[in-house]
């Protein structure tokens, strides 16, 4: 078992993936983050979300739902960095697979992997102090009725924080910008602006929105990460996906695509 927090000094890959803005993420093995990625760098995005969500203020043992955790890197990070009890919920990646990764990371006592569909979560009301969702919420959370359904799982006053791929400006009409047409997937229509998310959550009446903002130059980090994955991933499909994504981001140069974080406090 390799220690995911042991950085190899003078390792060019580790140096390449180091980010001055995300010191905690820099402590994780670069190869581990590449092998388990499912899109943008999940630990960087979580580290950007952390201060807005108040992760540092959580007491040890607080209960955190990591919704759409994928390969559970963010769940491992939450347990190791904040000493919280994490429920690592995902649909596509099965709990048996995540259990192995969680145990290897040494946090089997603090992270419980579960199979969960976001509309049918097997938890009772008031179960969690905090809900986190990185690069997942856009798949189910644009539904007007969804947020109240989810936030009933939060203890009163608990916070939900998400980071999603997003738009700098909403797109009028039914066509994507010309330069993005070759890359545009129907799924991309679930990307929205910070203002859209703020209004969407505020209108739900479920939370007070504390933060809804755009990551300045987020596209540069996204591009850098896609380039690393395209060069370093061992699986052909991931290499192709990351290469296409890098090509799209190089053309767009942050004109359209980036990231938004949204934090709400349960009313």
Ligand X SMILES: C[S@@+](CC[C@H](N)C(=O)[O-])C[C@H]1O[C@@H](n2cnc3c(N)ncnc32)[C@H](O)[C@@H]1O
Q: With contact defined as beta carbons under 8 Å apart, do 84 and 131 qualify? A: no
CA gap 214, 153 in Å, rounded: 27
Residues 88-117: x where in contact with ligand X by CB under 6 A, - otherwise, as a string: --xxxx----------------------xx
Binding range to ligand X, per CB under 6 A, among 37-45, 123-131, 209-217, 223-231: 37-45
Binding residue for ligand X, selected from 22, 140, 196, 197, defined by CB under 6 A: 140
* Residue 225 beta carbon to ligand X: minimum distance, rounded to whole angstroms: 11
Residue nearest to ligand X (CB): 70
CA gap 179, 186 in Å, rounded: 16
Question: Apex CA 62: angle with CA 59 and CA 67, to 5°?
Answer: 135
Binding range to ligand X, per CB under 6 A, among 129-137, 176-184, 186-194, 204-212: 129-137
Which residue carries 């042991």 as its tokens? 6
Residue 118 touching ligand X (CB under 6 A) = yes
Q: Which residues pair with 43 in a beta bridge?
A: none
Nearer residue to ligand X within complex by CB, 91 or 195: 91
Residues of this chain, 71-90, that bind ligand X according to CB under 6 A: 73-74, 90
Residue 262 touching ligand X (CB under 6 A) = no
Backbone φ and ψ of 78, nearest 5°: -60, -45
* Residue 178 beta carbon to ligand X: minimum distance, rounded to whole angstroms: 26
Binding range to ligand X, per CB under 6 A, among 134-142, 145-153, 180-188, 240-248: 134-142
- Closest C-alpha among 225, 215, 218 to residue 245: 225
Which residues, at least 6 apart from 154, have a Cβ–Cβ distance to it below 8 Å?
Answer: 126, 128, 129, 130, 131, 160, 266
Residues 173-202: x where in contact with ligand X by CB under 6 A, - otherwise, as a string: ------------------------------
Q: With contact defined as beta carbons under 8 Å apart, do 212 and 260 qualify? A: yes
Residue ranges that bind ligand X, judged by CB under 6 A? 38-39, 42, 68-70, 73-74, 90-93, 116-118, 134-136, 139-140
């Amino acid at each position: 078992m390799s220690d995911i927090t042991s950085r190899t000094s003078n390792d060019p890959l580790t140096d390449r993936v180091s980010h001055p803005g995300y010191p905690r993420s820099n402590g994780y093995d670069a190869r581990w983050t590449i092998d388990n990625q499912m899109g943008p760098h999940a630990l960087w995005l979580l580290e950007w979300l952390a201060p807005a969500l108040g992760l540092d203020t959580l007491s040890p043992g607080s209960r955190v739902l990591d919704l759409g955790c994928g390969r559970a890197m963010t769940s491992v990070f939450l347990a190791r960095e904040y000493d919280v009890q994490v429920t690592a919920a995902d649909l596509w990646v099965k709990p048996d697979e995540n259990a192995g990764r969680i145990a290897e990371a040494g946090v089997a006592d603090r992270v419980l992997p579960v199979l969960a569909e976001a509309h049918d979560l097997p938890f009772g009301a008031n179960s969690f102090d905090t809900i986190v969702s990185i690069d997942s919420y856009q798949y189910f959370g644009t539904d007007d009725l969804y947020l109240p359904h989810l936030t009933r799982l939060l203890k009163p006053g608990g916070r939900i924080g998400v980071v999603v791929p997003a738009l700098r400006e909403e797109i009028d009409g039914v066509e994507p910008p010309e330069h993005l047409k070759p890359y545009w997937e129907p799924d991309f229509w679930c990307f929205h602006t910070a203002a859209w998310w703020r209004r969407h959550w505020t209108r739900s009446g479920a939370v007070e929105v504390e933060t809804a903002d755009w990551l300045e130059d987020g596209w540069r980090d996204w591009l850098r990460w896609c380039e690393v994955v395209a060069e370093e991933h061992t699986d052909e499909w991931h290499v192709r996906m990351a290469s296409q994504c890098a090509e799209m981001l190089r053309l767009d140069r942050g004109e359209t695509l980036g990231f938004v974080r949204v934090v709400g406090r349960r009313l």
